[in-house]
């Protein structure tokens, strides 16, 4: 170390000893003032309309900067690949929602087209998602009569009310759910509630989607094995489904089971061996799902699988685009609760995927704008027989992996799907439903493997592991929405418990420095004679005020209430002692509370600090505060618990100031 470094080590900055009030006066402290009325007025009176439009419709901005020559080819390849995935996944996941397979194609076209203009993520592939479709299917089952029970359903009337049954059709319920979800998302956008997705932690989303995957898996058993199972409603649906499967296991359709087994084996073999090899060689994944759908359709058509082996197919697929129809508004109150859960799940999944790609590829996504984009897309989709849409993990990964650069890939995908809707749709009518069920089961592998994350959560945090376990088991045993609610409650309870019992410790001084560190963790830290420095982390409020007081007494090693009661008893006996007779065994004269880590304080918290300070002052131990942030200091002043000239309750700018004051005025006596 050079001579200059030695000088720097010996350098000492001389300044006045600062109390917080003096510091504020000397350096012209002024509290910033915000006017809500002024903010709203500026928000409404937008002078730059171009800026307003570009912020509401991000496509207007990024399309101007789009590099057509460099990026268009990549987006076209990506869009073609994703469109190929949309076909089998859309048709399969529509069945999860208890809707006709063509609805999955609608979902990959109408809302995705709207999202192109309003979304901020460049790489998420919007459309069907297994968990969201399954949750929608729950509402469809609860409030509708299955389409198979409607005798005169055609492509033009399947969305109408069946007067004979005096009930709603599945499409009506699904579109009502979609409209309701869109409305909730717009409301969240208006009130800037995009941050609400942070309530769903990684642990909660992981366990919830894993439990939902179990529901999806069991829901496909009937199609995989060709069983005829009754629709289950209400809670404990999964248990009822297992019981039904056991009862009907003797009625397996052998042909369906064989077709399902062959399809699953081929797709798994492709995903585990051929797909990685092909990805290294050509960079484009083999569309095994589309191959399975096309080959299954051809084999079923020319082998007469439906007539000969009684294998159920997807049935009628209408050509053309659906007619725009207003969703059944009278259903909105009925599906409101289900829609809230779907809103949270679909938005959280989409934002999680969007943030992953944004961080990986160095661009930004706007959480509130995503709410607006999803809300508008769902509202538009509700007029065209769509379920609520969300981002898909598998399709999004493919869209980015094969070179997609922007949402232009979605436009390419929509164009291909439009051709299918207009002309090619009826080709898939002979497709066995067991093929679609096989596609769903194979796609669940990644979600089911999330269960292994429980080991990681257990090692990192026992509370996170408990959240995972509670959410998972309530999801699979009771129901999906109740499981989500239970997981949310347990998560909030965990956060509350952590805030009620924040970390506390005593600080010691590092000799020849201005550092004050945790005595329990830093062996070089030394306690200052006659002074104890109490460190408190977190918020101080009505919920943890009692814990705060007990922690102060425990760490300081003195309960002033007991000392005061002892004095009263001695006085009652006629024994009068001087203050020197109550000199504490360790010579404690001053307690300094380090407030630098206090994030929030309410009036109850201020009251308890004042009460503790008064108790210690009464037994000749001075209690000071140090390093208050400005909002904390302002709250203390508001509560009128702090008087500048009151010796027993001073607030210092730093711990060093408080220690220097104690040494010069108290310990020197």
Q: Are 253 and 437 in contact (CB under 8 A)?
A: no
H or E stretch at 519 = none
Q: Are 518 and 478 found together in one domain?
A: no
372 located within any domain: yes
Predicted structure pTM score:
0.79
Residues with Cβ within 8 Å of residue 511, at least 6 apart in sequence: 524, 526
Give the pLDDT of residue 49: 55
Q: Are 525 and 441 found together in one domain?
A: no
Q: What are phi and psi of 622, to 5 degrees?
A: -80, 145
Give the pLDDT of residue 24: 80
Burial 34-66 (b: 16+ CB within 10 A, else e): eeeeeeeeeeeeeeeeeeeeeeeebbeeeeeee
Give the pLDDT of residue 352: 85
646 located within any domain: yes
Q: Are 490 and 505 found together in one domain?
A: no
Residue 178: which of 133, 131, 142 has the closest Cα? 133
Parallel, antiparallel or unpaired: strands 504-509 and 516-518? antiparallel
Three-state DSSP state, 313? strand
Q: How buried is residue 30: exposed, middle or buried, by Cβ count under 10 Å (0-12/13-18/19+)?
A: exposed
CA distance 171 to 100: 9
Q: How buried is residue 571: exposed, middle or buried, by Cβ count under 10 Å (0-12/13-18/19+)?
A: exposed
226 located within any domain: yes
Three-state DSSP state, 81? helix
Q: Are 89 and 128 in contact (CB under 8 A)?
A: yes
User: How many structural domains are present in the chain?
Assistant: 2
Q: What are phi and psi of 594, to 5 degrees?
A: -80, 115
Q: Are 466 and 532 found together in one domain?
A: no
Q: Are 200 and 340 found together in one domain?
A: yes
**113 to each of 59, 368, 417, how far by Cα in Å?**
12, 19, 11
Residues with Cβ within 8 Å of residue 14, at least 6 apart in sequence: none
Q: Are 196 and 367 in contact (CB under 8 A)?
A: no
327 located within any domain: yes
Q: Are 609 and 481 found together in one domain?
A: no
Question: Tokens at residue 175, please?
Answer: 């579109």
Give the pLDDT of residue 51: 62
Q: Are 456 and 508 found together in one domain?
A: no
Among 497, 519, 551, where does a domain finish? Answer: 497
Q: Are 354 and 121 in contact (CB under 8 A)?
A: yes
Q: Are 520 and 576 found together in one domain?
A: yes
Give the pLDDT of residue 16: 79
CA distance 486 to 493: 10
**173 to each of 193, 383, 387, how far by Cα in Å?**
27, 12, 9
10-residue averages of pLDDT along the chain (669 residues): 48 70 78 58 55 75 88 89 89 92 94 95 93 92 70 43 60 96 95 78 88 91 91 83 92 94 94 82 76 93 92 89 93 94 92 86 90 96 96 85 87 93 91 92 89 92 93 92 90 86 93 90 91 94 92 92 83 64 69 94 91 90 92 85 53 91 75
Q: Are 422 and 569 found together in one domain?
A: no
Question: Tokens at residue 262, please?
Answer: 């062959």
CA distance 126 to 649: 59
41 located within any domain: no
Q: Are 475 and 610 found together in one domain?
A: no
Q: Are 487 and 586 found together in one domain?
A: no
Parallel, antiparallel or unpaired: strands 126-127 and 390-391? antiparallel
Parallel, antiparallel or unpaired: strands 531-536 and 538-540? unpaired
419 located within any domain: yes
CA distance 651 to 625: 5
17 located within any domain: no
Rg (C-alpha) for the chain, rounded Å, is 33
Give the pLDDT of residue 569: 80
8 located within any domain: no
H or E stretch at 31 = none
CATH assignment of the domain containing 614:
3.30.750.24
Residues with Cβ within 8 Å of residue 263, at least 6 apart in sequence: 292, 296, 434, 435, 438, 439
H or E stretch at 594 = strand 590-594
How many helices and strands in the chain, by DSSP H and E? 31, 10
Q: Residue 537 is part of which domain span?
A: 501-668
CA distance 361 to 377: 25
Q: Are 442 and 270 in contact (CB under 8 A)?
A: no
Among 470, 497, 524, where does a domain finish? Answer: 497
Three-state DSSP state, 440? helix
Among 497, 530, 557, where does a domain finish? Answer: 497
CA distance 587 to 530: 5
Q: Are 225 and 93 found together in one domain?
A: yes
Give the pLDDT of residue 164: 40
Question: Tokens at residue 127, please?
Answer: 């459309």
Q: What are phi and psi of 201, to 5 degrees?
A: -70, 170
CA distance 201 to 212: 16
First-to-last C-alpha distance (Å) of the chain: 41
């Amino acid at each position: 170390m050079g001579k200059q470094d030695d000088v720097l080590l010996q350098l000492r900055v001389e300044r006045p000893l600062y109390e917080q009030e003096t510091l504020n006066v000397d350096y012209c402290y002024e509290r910033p003032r915000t006017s809500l009325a002024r903010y709203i007025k500026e928000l409404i009176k937008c002078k730059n309309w171009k800026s307003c439009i570009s912020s509401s419709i991000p496509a207007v901005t990024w399309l101007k900067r789009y590099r057509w020559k460099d990026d268009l080819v990549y987006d076209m390849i990506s869009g073609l690949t994703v469109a190929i995935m949309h076909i089998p996944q859309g048709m399969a996941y529509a069945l999860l929602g208890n809707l006709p397979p063509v609805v999955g194609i609608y979902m990959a076209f109408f809302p995705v087209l709207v999202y192109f203009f309003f979304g901020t993520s460049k790489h998420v592939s919007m459309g069907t998602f297994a968990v969201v479709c399954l949750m929608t299917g729950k509402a469809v089952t609860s409030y509708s009569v299955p389409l198979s029970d409607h005798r005169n359903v055609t492509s033009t009337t399947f969305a109408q009310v069946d007067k004979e049954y005096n009930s709603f059709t599945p499409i009506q319920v699904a579109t009502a759910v979609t409209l309701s979800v869109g409305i909730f998302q717009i409301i969240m956008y208006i009130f800037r509630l995009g941050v609400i997705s942070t309530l769903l932690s990684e642990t909660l989303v992981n366990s919830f989607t894993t439990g939902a995957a179990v529901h999806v898996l069991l829901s496909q058993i009937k199609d995989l094995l060709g069983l005829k199972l009754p629709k289950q409603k209400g809670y404990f649906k999964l248990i009822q489904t297992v019981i039904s499967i056991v009862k009907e296991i003797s009625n397996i359709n052998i042909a369906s089971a064989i077709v399902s087994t062959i399809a699953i084996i081929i797709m798994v073999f492709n995903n585990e061996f051929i797909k990685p090899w092909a990805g290294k060689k050509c960079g484009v994944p083999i569309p095994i799902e589309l191959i399975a759908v096309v080959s299954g359709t051809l084999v079923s058509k020319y082998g007469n699988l439906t007539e000969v082996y009684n294998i159920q197919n997807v049935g009628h697929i209408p050509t053309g685009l659906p007619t725009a129809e207003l969703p059944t508004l009278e259903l909105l109150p009925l599906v409101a609760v289900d829609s809230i859960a779907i809103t949270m799940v679909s938005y959280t999944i989409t934002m999680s995927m969007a943030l992953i790609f944004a961080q990986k590829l160095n661009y930004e996504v706007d959480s509130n704008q995503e709410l607006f984009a999803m809300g508008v897309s769902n509202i538009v989709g509700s007029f065209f027989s769509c379920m609520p849409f969300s981002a898909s993990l598998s399709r999004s990964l493919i869209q980015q992996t094969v070179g997609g650069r922007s949402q232009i890939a979605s436009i390419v995908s929509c164009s291909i799907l439009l051709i299918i809707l207009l002309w090619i749709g009826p080709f898939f009518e002979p497709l066995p439903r067991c093929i679609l069920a096989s596609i769903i089961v194979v796609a669940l592998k990644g979600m089911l493997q999330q269960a292994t994350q429980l080991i990681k959560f257990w090692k990192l945090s026992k509370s996170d592991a408990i959240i995972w376990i509670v959410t998972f088991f309530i999801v699979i045993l009771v129901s999906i929405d109740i499981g989500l609610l239970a997981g949310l409650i347990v998560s909030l309870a965990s956060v509350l418990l952590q805030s009620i019992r924040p970390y506390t410790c005593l600080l010691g001084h590092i000799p020849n420095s201005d550092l004050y560190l945790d005595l329990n963790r830093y062996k070089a830290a030394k306690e200052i004679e006659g002074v104890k420095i109490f460190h408190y982390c977190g918020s101080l409020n009505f919920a943890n005020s009692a814990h705060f007081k007990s922690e102060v007494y425990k760490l300081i090693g003195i309960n002033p209430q007991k000392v005061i009661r002892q004095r009263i008893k001695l006085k009652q006996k006629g024994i009068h002692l001087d203050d020197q007779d109550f000199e504490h065994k360790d010579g404690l004269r001053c307690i300094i509370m380090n407030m630098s880590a206090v994030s929030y304080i309410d009036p109850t918290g201020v009251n308890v600090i004042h009460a503790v300070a008064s108790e210690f002052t009464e037994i000749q131990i001075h209690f000071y505060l140090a390093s208050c942030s400005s909002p904390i200091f302002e709250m203390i002043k508001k509560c009128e618990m702090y008087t500048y000239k009151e010796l027993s309750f001073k607030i210092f700018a730093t711990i060093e100031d408080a220690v220097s004051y104690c040494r010069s005025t108290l310990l020197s006596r």
